[in-house]
Structure 1
Amino acid sequence: MKPKLGSEIIRRIGYGAMRLPGIGKTPEDTQLACRVLQEAVDLGANVIDTAHFYGNGLANKLIADTLRPFPQKLIILTKVGVQSGPDGRPQPAATPEEIQQTVQNNLDSLGVSQLNLVFLRLPGGPLADSGVPMHESLECLAQLQEAGIIRHIGLSSASVEQITSAQAIVSVEAVQNALFVGHYESRGVVQLCHEERIPFFAYFPLGMGMLIEKKVDLSPFAEAHGATKAQIALAWLLALSPMVVPIPGTSGIDHLRENFAALDIELSSSEVEVLSKI
């Protein structure tokens, strides 16, 4: 069993571009950001997660400048339903008009005529409820899909109930939720994706500083495998289901290589069980 988007097999670790704008503010940093992107692809990633609101188009521009013409098998993940507010914090943008504008912004900043996969970001966490019914946003995406502007539709920060409801309107071809050791609220969603063979892209796979803050001590597992704690965190995600694809972001080449080396770590079933209960 392998995760697929359409007929394209998805490799088990992707790259999250949310941090790219922070390392692309000067010419020197821009060169580093481009090297990180190219190295991610060279290491085997065929999925890059981005959004126009990451740096007001800067992340997308860095991706376009570095990787265009895009490799045929490269899958760019984008999202709608959210935008940056005046203070930089995420705010909802889920009306049909806002979705159409966000899609156009992504097309323009990536320099493409079609988006591979567009996630509808649902309310939750820092994102307030827009009051727009989910079906209205999905119907807009369905129209854009029918027009050939987007290929695939997914849901982000979704519950099992929301996925089930959405499937009555569109074909939900991927899910993107926060998932990391110590935060397994998406257990039911992972199970659903496993059963229905829907790719599950895990964002914040290293827990938003969880390892640095030592909220979860993975040292015993890391020592047992001669690995880093970050690698154990990623290996746990990979072991949950063949459908789970972590999309860690990083600003450094060494850390990037460390992340991809997690593919070589095989946790025992008992280790996976222990980590799942944290």
Structure 2
Amino acid sequence: MAALVSAGLHASWNVVAKQQRVPSEAVLGIILATALVCLVALPFIGLPPRAAWPWLGAAAFFNVAYSRALMAAYDLADLNVVYSAVRGMLPPILFVIGFVAFGERLAPTAATGLGLMVTSLILFGVHGLKRGSSNARGLTIAALAGFVLAFSYACDVKGARLSGGGLFPIVQYGAASSLMTAAGMLTVSTLERRSPMAALARNWRACAVGALLLMASYFAALWAYVQGPVALVAPVRETSILFGGLLAFCVLRERIGTQQWAAIGIAALGAILIKIR
């Protein structure tokens, strides 16, 4: 249930960002707004245990790379194409990471589920390129963002587990992670001669809403990953592809063809098969 709630919330904050005039600015503003909330809360909640700090730093590094790639992808392609490419990359990669790094073993049905997830990605990409809602560069950047995010999640899982399994340690870890990610994004923005605080000011209402959705989604996802195997939680969490597709259609009025609806269904079926023990 935590993974499903996280999936819906995650798709929602991405829609909030995509609704803005410059989506990349909105993504940056939401990340900074989240960090501001965490900064205010930090004196009351404290820092996670030192054992988690190396994993916290590694996760923040990967998350900065992911966030920057997501910003670029949203400026080049529709939400349903970018979001599905990013989220669809995660279950197969986390499946491998869970097996190699965490010693998790799953049933043979998982291989079929992974194949379906890959198929759904191909369907989304081909359809987006055909109708001009995406381009090769945008789709490539989105896939790269998903690849990098998988390693961020793996580091987060390790760090959160070392912090302890309760809700409070997860909040401690999540707040520290948000602050480190924001610090990295501020550094990157300065090097790119962006004005990050101006981006936050221009979209402050959307950033405030997006920050609440992002924090709730992140904490729920961390809790789910701490409680269950990575390779089983990931596909349930990535049913956010369904939420993203529906929100893109209902809220953003993006056209979604039959092929893309089929891809959404295939991705959901793949997630279910991966979940079967």
TM-score exceeds 0.5: no
Greater length-normalized contact order (CA 8 Å, ≥ 6 residues apart): 2
User: Hey, which of these two has a bigger chunk of helix by percent?
Assistant: 2
TM-score by length of 2: 0.28
User: Hey, which of these two has a bigger chunk of strand by percent?
Assistant: 1
